[in-house]
Structure 1
Amino acid sequence: MASNFHFFLLYLVTLFLFAQARLNLYPQDHAALLLVQKDLGIIALNNPCTLAGISCERRPGNRTQVLRVTRIVFRSNGLKGTLSSAIGKLSELKELSLSDNQLSEQIPIQILDCRKLEILELQRNRFSGKIPYELSSLNRLRVVDFSSNEFSGNLDFLKYFPNLEKLSLADNMFTGKIPFSLKSFRNLRFLNISGNSFLEGPVPVMSQIEHLSADLNRNNAVPKRYILAENSTRSNQISAMVPAPAPAPVNRVVPVVHKRNKKKRKLRSWFLGFLAGTFAGGISAVIFSLLFKLVMFFVRRGKNDSSSLTIFSPLIKKAEDLAFLEMEDGVASLEMIGKGGCGEVYRAELPGSNGKIIAIKKIIQSPMDAAEITEEDTKALNKKMRQVKSEIQIVGQIRHRNLLPLLAHMPRPDCHYLVYEYMKNGSLQDILQQVTEGTRELDWLGRHRIAAGVAAGLEYLHINHTQRIIHRDLKPANILLDDDMEARIADFGLAKAVPDAHTHITTSNVAGTMGYIAPEYYQTLKFTDKCDIYSFGVVLAVLVIGKGPSDEYFQHTSEMSLVKWLRNVMTSDDPKIAIDPKLRGNGYEEQMLLVLKIACFCTLDNPKERPNSKDVRCMLTQIKH
């Protein structure tokens, strides 16, 4: 009896396996799945339905049952490919989950043919571009997660999703207004649109939402939200830029515990601590004062020779290579490649370097009449020279890919020689002038790269360097371009160290260059990092507009100012007229308008409302092409 039962069980298993073996994957699904796997970087098998991550289900065919692909789930598989357009051939697909990989490029528009799709999870990849406009035609979708990618464009694809329960678009680069159509998503319970710095609110009120995250700062990289006011019939009466209001502080109630003995003990301990601290502080002050005087004695004793060369870079192998700078007029025989109000720049070949070219900047100290120099003047001049040398020592230690490195410094009684790498592509001002004259081209990708590089350099000076450095005269002439057209900020740290340098307007003793100076500086005569941000905002505008603030074009406008003109144009019906005609029609107009928006944020009248250099760098790097 038992043997008969075993035989019957074996017969059933064999019959089941035989029935399964006769089920074949639908040919169209098989061909499409092979292409999808290939583009994802997955090794295909003869029977794809046996691969982990692929689910197939029975569906009626012409004469018999067939297998159809219903789910593709590859989470955290380290995939580095793309999503094939063949995905649209899988018409029975219900779930596509490819989260936590490194997939890139756009979502193919053929995905709209997956009419039965319910779950679409592509979060934490490198997908980019715009979401297909007709995505809402997939009305069975319950879960859509596009978070932590590089998607751009507006949210017009959010038309009507009657079954959508979860929608996450966080940490992308979507632009435009949050659509009011969200209010019609009656089954939506989870909504996350945070981390999209260029989105503009408000979020429609939806009573059924259980979880809402709409902080538009991308990964907290941009701690402020900047919103460009839309133009209306009162566009001339409203401010061009309106920062979003900060959240109201939360009042917290702290219970007060009345314990007199505890208070007495605290007062006693505070008093004893105060006495001990005062005593220790007094002793420390005396010791510090003695040590300081001792150090200063040796410093003055060891530095009577003011013409000592300081080398900051291994490119200068030995001091003898720059020995000619110690001569009375060591640069007289060199080629002068630039000249300012109080200094010149020379081109020279570095001895023993196989043709390495260097640039030598000669900063001339303001001469004084020998008959009028008093002992106090001499002390003041010596103090100033020591200060200059000290600050140049700090500058010489700075290294960043977007900052022009100082190679060496030679102080002289009447001048300073600063040795830099020679940038054969010249300055951004030179390049833009050649573009205007039609002798050179600078496309949008190159301009955006320059802008991002300058922002990265400013961030290092303002935030990442241990001693904050303010440039004080940021402009295209002080942005040099290396062999790879990478931006290098020049003259950083020297504007303050050498107040008579040619980067300043000496007639009025105002630091900076007209058109790039922040408005508050004229009132306070104090330069802050937000003044640099204002200057950088003007540089951004120049990169997109193709005209500098001193261009005659702005003298014939009602605003008579590049910044004010830009604000009015950006809030007009056709902001694209601000774009350089040489750049129009290249397909990057939306990205250029975003950069102009950032320029407007940087040039807000109130310095407290301007972003810092990290904010700007983050916003610029979010703009993908």
Structure 2
Amino acid sequence: MAGTISGFTFSRLFKPILAAVMCGGKDKGPAIFSPLIKKKEDLAFLKNKERITSLEKIREGSLGEVYKAELPGSNGKMISIKKIIQPHMSTAELTQQDSKTLNKKMHQIRSEINIVGHIRHPNLLPLLAHVPRPDCHYLVYEFMKNGSLQDRFGNVKQGTQELDWLARVKIAQGVASGLEYLHMNQNPRIIHRNLMPANILLDDDMEARIADFGLAKAMPDAHTHMTSSNIVGTVGYIAPEFHQTLKFTDKCDIYSFGVVLAVLVTGKLPSDEFFQNGNEIGLVKWLRSVTNSENPRQAIDSKLIGNGFEEQMLLVLKVAYFCTLDNPKERPNSKDVRCMLSQIKH
């Protein structure tokens, strides 16, 4: 099947890499997953601490810093490098919190390698390489010039950038396509578990790339859900049933995507002051109220009003409504969502 590799091939390619991760970052050399990187020597600069500190830091994540660099010998190809630092202390010296943090970091590395290292889709951010070092791990990706969807909305609010409706619906369709690939075209299915605007990156052509698979899980078809003892995801995007059951399904991803669709149409994020001042009831409940009102157009981002695409926006708002229904069984699956959104023609 296209997009997958056999269990035997996967075992040969990836078990040594996962073993390297489990060994705490011993320097076994880089593992390359993409032909964009011609040879391992192209990543030798990651051994030079002075070179690393001179790179442009573009983001500070919960598990490490992200840098921007030019890939040597690539005629200007830019890459982003996620640096995940691990504690220097021995296992015996680790506190419970240190151990929890270390486990979280190692889980993220394993998830990225296991999942993103071997799948390819135009709407997923590919992992190009993994470089283990004695004190850290480097995960290398294509650089997305237009940043994240969350960054773009922040700039739109400040008036420094625009995001018209055609760009927004293109992003929605791209994310839906990537989500369908993860849920329907992979065996076992892949559940992202943290879909939100900050994890949707935009390439040079404003195509959406789903990123950050550190919380992702592969779920065999025989299983209907995964149980987690820890809260995963981001407040405002987590399906309500997860809080009650701690069980995560593909329909939880659909709920998160429904929130993203609502953000694209309304221009409002769940974290906006509009939903924090005590008068409003959260993005999803507000969306339901407005969608069922006599004037659902009041939910549309004021920056989009008058451009002639209001009917399309209301259709996407309706899809968002169905995706965020309380009962997960009533939500559409990712294929249904992609098909509904594909009806919107530019």
> Under a length normalisation based on structure 1, what TM-score does the superposition of the two structures give?
0.47
Q: Where does residue 453 of structure 1 map in the other structure? A: 174
8 Å CA contact retained: 1:307, 1:326: no
Question: 8 Å contact 2:190–2:216 — kept in the other structure?
Answer: no
Shift of 1:445: 1.1
Q: Secondary structure at the match of 1:440?
A: coil
- Aligned counterpart, 1:23: none
Letter in 1 for 2:67: Y
1:269 paired residue number: none
C-alpha spacing 1:533/1:368, structure 2 compared with 1 (3 Å): farther
Of structures 1 and 2, the larger Rg is shown by: 1
Specify the alignment match of 1:578 in structure 2: 299
Q: Which amino acid aligns with 1:333?
A: S
Where 1:608 maps in the other structure, the secondary structure is: helix
Distance in 1 (CA, whole Å) between partners of 2:318 and 2:331 is 12
Q: Does the Cα contact within 8 Å between 1:598 and 1:616 map onto a contact in 2?
A: yes
**Counterparts of 1:531 and 1:602 in 2: how far apart (Å)?**
9
Distance in 2, matches of 1:541 and 1:387, equals 28
- Is 2:132 aligned against 1:411? yes
Q: Which residue in 1 is equivalent to 2:191?
A: 470
Correspondence 1:316-335 to 2 at 5 A: 316-327=37-48, 331-335=52-56
Q: Does 1:433 align with 2:151?
A: no
* 1:553 CA displacement: 1.0
Summarize the alignment of residues 154-173 of structure 1 with structure 2, pairs less than 5 Å apart. none
1:360 has 2:81 as partner: yes
Q: Give yes or no for contact 1:454–1:489 (8 Å, CA) kept in 2.
A: yes
Rounded to whole Å, the distance in 1 between the matches of 2:246 and 2:261 is 24
The percent identity for this pair of structures is 71
- Per the TM alignment, residue 300 of structure 1 is displaced from its structure 2 partner at its CA by 6.9
Q: Is the 2:83–2:138 Cα contact (8 Å) retained in structure 1?
A: yes
SS in 1 for 2:65: strand
Whole-Å separation in 2 of the counterparts to 1:420 and 1:300 = 21
The equivalent residue for 1:541 is: 262
**1:577 positional shift:** 0.2
| Pair 1:391–1:357, CA change in 2 (3 A) | closer
Shift of residue 389, structure 1, vs aligned partner: 3.9
Task: Assess if the C-alpha contact under 8 Å between 1:360 and 1:418 holds in 2.
Answer: yes
Alignment counterpart, residue 119 of structure 2, candidates 398, 421, 431: 398
Q: Give the Cα–Cα distance (whole angstroms) in 1 for the partners of residues 112 and 72 of structure 2.
A: 27
CA distance in 2, matches of 1:300, 1:467: 21
**3-state SS, counterpart of residue 560 of structure 1:** coil
Mark the CA change 1:585 to 1:358 in structure 2 (over 3 Å): closer, same or farther: same
Query: Which residue of structure 2 lines up, in the alignment, with residue 530 of structure 1?
Result: 251
Match of 2:36 in 1: 315
User: Could you say what secondary structure the match of 2:131 adopts?
Assistant: strand
Q: Give the structure 2 partner of residue 495 of structure 1.
A: 215
Gaps of 5+ in 1: 1-291, 498-507
Deviation string for 1:419-451 (max 9, x for gaps)?
Answer: 011111111111111111122221111110110
Amino acid at match of 2:318: K
Residue of structure 2 in register with 1:512 after alignment: 233
Counterpart CA distance in 2 for 1:421 and 1:599 is: 30
Q: Residue 523 of structure 1 aligns to which amino acid in structure 2?
A: Q
Q: Aligned equivalents of 1:433 and 1:386: distance in 2?
A: 30
CA contact under 8 A between 2:322 and 2:332: conserved in structure 1?
Answer: yes
Alignment-mate amino acid for residue 338 of structure 1: R
Matched, 1:598 2:322: no
Change (3 A) 1:367 1:609: farther
Q: Distance in 2 between matches of 1:571 and 1:462?
A: 30
- Equivalents in 2 of 1:581, 1:386: separation in Å? 42
Aligned to 1:621: 342
Please report how far the alpha carbon of residue 330 of structure 1 lies from its aligned counterpart in structure 2 after TM superposition: 6.0
Cα distance, 1:390–1:513 mapped onto 2, change above 3 Å = closer
- The Cα shift of 1:416 comes to 2.2
Contact 1:307–1:413, Cα closer than 8 Å, also in 2: no
* CA deviations over 1:58-117 (Å, ceiling 9, x no partner): xxxxxxxxxxxxxxxxxxxxxxxxxxxxxxxxxxxxxxxxxxxxxxxxxxxxxxxxxxxx
Answer yes or no: is 1:589 the counterpart of 2:310.
Answer: yes
Aligned-pair CA distance for 1:386: 9.0
- SS of equivalent to 2:247: coil
Aligned Cα RMSD in Å? 3.0
Any residues of structure 2 matched to 1:194-209 within 5 Å, and which?
Answer: none
How many Å separate the matches in 2 of 1:387 and 1:491?
A: 9
Deviation at 1:587, TM superposition (A): 1.5
Whole-Å separation in 1 of the counterparts to 2:230 and 2:260: 23
In 2, Cα distance between equivalents of 1:425 and 1:496: 24
Amino acid at match of 1:410: V
| Counterpart secondary structure, 2:139 | strand
1:245-280 Cα offsets, whole Å, 9 max, x none, are: xxxxxxxxxxxxxxxxxxxxxxxxxxxxxxxxxxxx
* Aligned CA distance change for structure 1 residues 558 and 366 (closer, same or farther; 3 Å): farther
Give the CA deviation at 1:536.
0.5
Q: Relative to structure 1, is the Cα distance of residues 391 and 333 closer, same or farther in structure 2, using a 3 angstrom cutoff?
A: closer
Q: 8 Å contact 2:127–2:141 — kept in the other structure?
A: yes
Structure 1 residue 413: Cα displacement: 4.2
Please, what TM-score do these two structures have when normalized by structure 2? 0.82
* CA distance in 2: counterparts of 1:528 and 1:605, whole angstroms: 14
Match of residue 555 from structure 1 = 276
Equivalent position amino acid for 1:332 in 2: T
- Cα distance 1:603–1:315, how it changes in 2: closer, same or farther (>3 A)? same
Q: Does the Cα contact within 8 Å between 2:84 and 2:137 map onto a contact in 1?
A: yes
Q: CA deviation at 1:518?
A: 1.0
Q: How many Å separate the matches in 2 of 1:561 and 1:352?
A: 49
Does the Cα contact within 8 Å between 2:191 and 2:250 map onto a contact in 1? yes
Matches within 5 A, 1:54-453: 307-327=28-48, 331-365=52-86, 371-372=92-93, 385=106, 388-389=109-110, 392-453=113-174
Shift of 1:604: 0.8
Compared CA separation, residues 538 and 327, structure 1 to 2 (3 A): same
**Counterpart contact for 1:389–1:411, Cα < 8 Å:** no
Q: Provide closer, same or farther for how the CA distance between residues 362 and 300 of structure 1 changes in structure 2, counting only shifts above 3 A.
A: closer
Give the partner amino acid of 1:589: E
Aligned pair in 2 of structure 1 residues 523, 412: CA closer, same or farther (>3 Å)?
farther
- Tell me which of the two structures has the higher relative contact order, counting C-alpha pairs closer than 8 angstroms and 6 or more residues apart: 2
Q: Determine the C-alpha separation between the residues in 2 that align with 1:409 and 1:335.
A: 19
Whichever residue aligns with residue 621 of structure 1, its letter is S
Q: Does the Cα contact within 8 Å between 1:362 and 1:417 map onto a contact in 2?
A: yes
Provide the rounded CA distance (Å) in 2 between the counterparts of 1:606 and 1:577: 26
- Alpha-carbon distance in 1 for matches of 2:196, 2:134: 30
